[in-house]
Structure 1
Amino acid sequence: MPRRTPRPTPVTPTTPCPCGLPKAYGECCGRFHSGTAAAPTPELLMRSRYSAFVAGDVAYLLKTWHPRTRPARLDLDPGMRWTGLEIIDRADGSAFHERGTVTFRASYRGGELCERSRFERVGGEWAYVDGEFLD
């Protein structure tokens, strides 16, 4: 019997947002994924990128990656199951900043990763530059 390839976790406008904020996906990260709004802070961009990993939205992940560091393509592991997000710290990233950082812990089935991500504005919108994995 052939093995089925797991699909990304289904998210709909009315399901709880994967980013952990107490809103439905459509009112939270879904508006950024659809392009009807842009994330106003690095933290919200990071949350929306986490939700894009959960939903398997490669186009959004590439769109919100800084052009200087964006890969030509991104292949997500179809078996990865993200299970939670915790914001540990944030620095800068207000309306008055051009750069900001967000430190977070993302849990997945079987483990977790901790990263300090760097963000910069590109054309007025926040973009993910790169990240440093932490222990």
Structure 2
Amino acid sequence: MDERVWLQGSRCPCGSGDTLGACCLRYLAGGGGAPAPTARALMRSRYTAFALGDVAHLLDTWHPSTRPASLDLDPQQRWLHLNVESWSGGGPFDTEGTVGFTAVCRGPDGRGELRELSRFVREDGRWYYVDGAIG
């Protein structure tokens, strides 16, 4: 059985407060792959994909102009918390948007943080991650 079946009642890793089934699961590759309605929703779903190891979702939502050929996630890295700090544009009627966030993780070397201002574009009704400025 797919572990997402029992995970869907758990709290979503993105920190929204909703269950995974009521939040990011619908956007993930294994949960139907519906397009996220906003850049912020896509960013949250991508964080959830990192937390759950959903490489297919990460690659599918990465803009073709910057998408890597493959992606290897570190199985020892555990994503602990997401804080969305800012956003600009990225709404249902926008074609561009940015989302600033801090993601907290724990790996073999201890606890760490990733701070990024991510850039998104919407093409043919779908939001895509383009790139991010780490800082």
How has the CA–CA distance of structure 1 residues 81 and 36 changed in structure 2, closer, same or farther, with 3 Å as cutoff? closer
- RMSD of Structure 2 on Structure 1 (CA): 1.1
Measured in 2, the distance between the counterparts of 1:13 and 1:116 equals 28
Partner of 2:68: 71
Are 2:13 and 1:18 aligned?
yes
Identity %: 52
Measured in 1, the distance between the counterparts of 2:93 and 2:23 equals 23
**Count of residues paired in the alignment:** 124
Q: Which runs of 5+ in 1 are unaligned?
A: 1-10
The normalised TM-score by structure 2 is 0.88
Measured in 2, the distance between the counterparts of 1:111 and 1:36 equals 29
8 Å CA contact 1:87–1:105 kept in 2: the answer is yes
Partner of 2:113: 112
8 Å CA contact 1:49–1:60 kept in 2: the answer is yes
Deviation >6 Å, runs of 4+:
none
Measured in 2, the distance between the counterparts of 1:94 and 1:59 equals 24
**1:28-69, Cα deviation, whole Å (9 max, x unpaired):** 000111225221011010000000000000000000000111
Measured in 2, the distance between the counterparts of 1:60 and 1:20 equals 18
Q: Secondary structure in 2 aligned to 1:59?
A: helix
Which is worse superposed, 88-97 or 70-79? 88-97
Partner of 2:42: 45
Partner of 2:26: 31
